[in-house]
Amino acid sequence: MKSPCQMLRIIAAIFVFLTATVVAIKVPNPNYADALTKSILFFEGQRSGKLPPNQLMTWRKDSALHDGADKGVDLVGGYYDAGDNVKFHFPMAFTTTMLAWSVEQFRNSMGPDLKHAMEAIKWSTDYFLKATNIPNVVYAQVGNAEGDHNCWERPEDMDTPRTAFAVTTQAPGSEVSAEIAAALAATSIVFKPTDPAYSKSLVNRAIQVFEFADKYRGSYNDSIGPWVCPFYCNYNGYNDELLWAAAWLLKATRKPMYWNYVKQNIINFKSDMESGLSEFGWDAKHAGINVLISKFVLDKPSNANPFLPYADTFVCSVLPESPTNTVIYTPGGLMYKSGICNMQNPTALSFLLLTYARYMKSRVIRCGNIDVTQKMLIRFARSQVNYILGRNPMNMSYMVGFGTKFPQRIHHRGASLPSIDQHPENIGCKEGTQYFLSESPNPNLHIGAVVGGPDIKDYFADYRPNSGQSEPATYVNAPLVGLLAYFKAHP
């Protein structure tokens, strides 16, 4: 016989279930196709350099046309990482790898957006070919971050130092070099069917850059730390990037030497790997390595260890219903990790879960007493995407230009200042402060930009100075491109 309290809890649970069912029926899924188009368009607003004639984000103009001149090299191009005007190559390379993985996995679902996605990737890899053109030298950043962050000015008006910083044999940077190698290798796969010559040039350069990263080991924290820190310090070491790059080279070349490297070093780096099995982002590749390699070992049980157990542990550490879950969620159901720009976590981790689900097919993962299926992983990934696109307690989309309610005051210099068309005169370093502090909406719509998102209580303050919540970043959008392509095809 159940107590009255138990009966009340059961009734309440049934009510919640029925209510959720009704809501699910009444509320359609977001327009994933529209969101996909906009998520790719965002990258046009982040472009640095000489813009092409087909540029659709017309409030942006040419910028930083002399990058690299201080070192006698051509470093014009690439992307600004977020709302500032610095080119940080570590997160830019991760962004590129994830864009390439998105296309590699979901190109058949992209339709007319495929062309634009590949243009977004090539804008970056063309730049990285320049940044790695000198043997045993890898350029890792352009721009003085302290000077840039002291100003609020359009990229077209920049007058802060555009110093180029490199890692070398004497001052190594294995993490940034290996991530660039991964980006080049991943992109070589994407372009192989349509541009084999470009693909070959990418994979050949990836091999060279990886050899440099592996032979001259060291963190760029120690070589150019005063300029990359605290913005994009490497907190997780460089071993994961070396494995990540080798895994992508394995996928791109199918050469046994890379499989042997990954197998041997997954053991050598065991303590590093096991401490970060649920981590994935521009700084930590642990979960990504195991999901990527799982594609190779699912059909070969003799090669499964430790990759599949590690990938399974990742799944069990993320899913909210798992008894071994270690991830915090907001009351509205968004994955949450304290720090700057939380939205990078739900997009990157959801991409991995969706990709692993497609790899595992009918295989079942055991998380304590819970059996996790492919459908559960896909359903969870969809819940995170839907939250970002408007199914949340604020009833707002966190993608600019998507839906009827979205952030209006994002922390982004170019978007918050009047465009060259509206205000041809130069706006100096401190002259932009009035726009930064203004409560008016941004004059330029940075379509597709996904901001840092709400706080732990699902609350979002649409406030430009609050960069943690209101700033977009390329590495937030990159994995989202793949997610949206899949859900567009499976609405």
Q: Which residues are catalytic?
A: 411
Distance between CA atoms of 277 and 443, rounded to whole angstroms?
42
Closest CA to 234 of 257, 253, 217: 217
Q: Is residue 331 packed enough to be buried (19+ CB in 10 Å), middle (13-18) or exposed (0-12)?
A: exposed
Provide the CA 454 distance to its chain's centre, in angstroms.
Answer: 18
Provide the CA 272 distance to its chain's centre, in angstroms.
Answer: 22
Q: Is residue 29 packed enough to be buried (19+ CB in 10 Å), middle (13-18) or exposed (0-12)?
A: middle
Q: Is residue 52 packed enough to be buried (19+ CB in 10 Å), middle (13-18) or exposed (0-12)?
A: exposed
Distance between CA atoms of 373 and 353, rounded to whole angstroms?
11
Two structure tokens written together for 394: 């604020």
Sign of CA pseudo-dihedral 302, 106, 255, 315 = negative
- Between the two ends of the chain, the Cα-to-Cα distance in Å is 44
Give the CB-side neighbour count of residue 285, counting CA atoms within 13 A.
31
CB of 474 closer than 8 Å to CB of 46: yes
Closest CA to 114 of 485, 490, 488, 487: 485
CB of 188 closer than 8 Å to CB of 206: yes
Closest CA to 212 of 250, 238, 247, 186: 238
Distance between CA atoms of 334 and 118, rounded to whole angstroms?
30
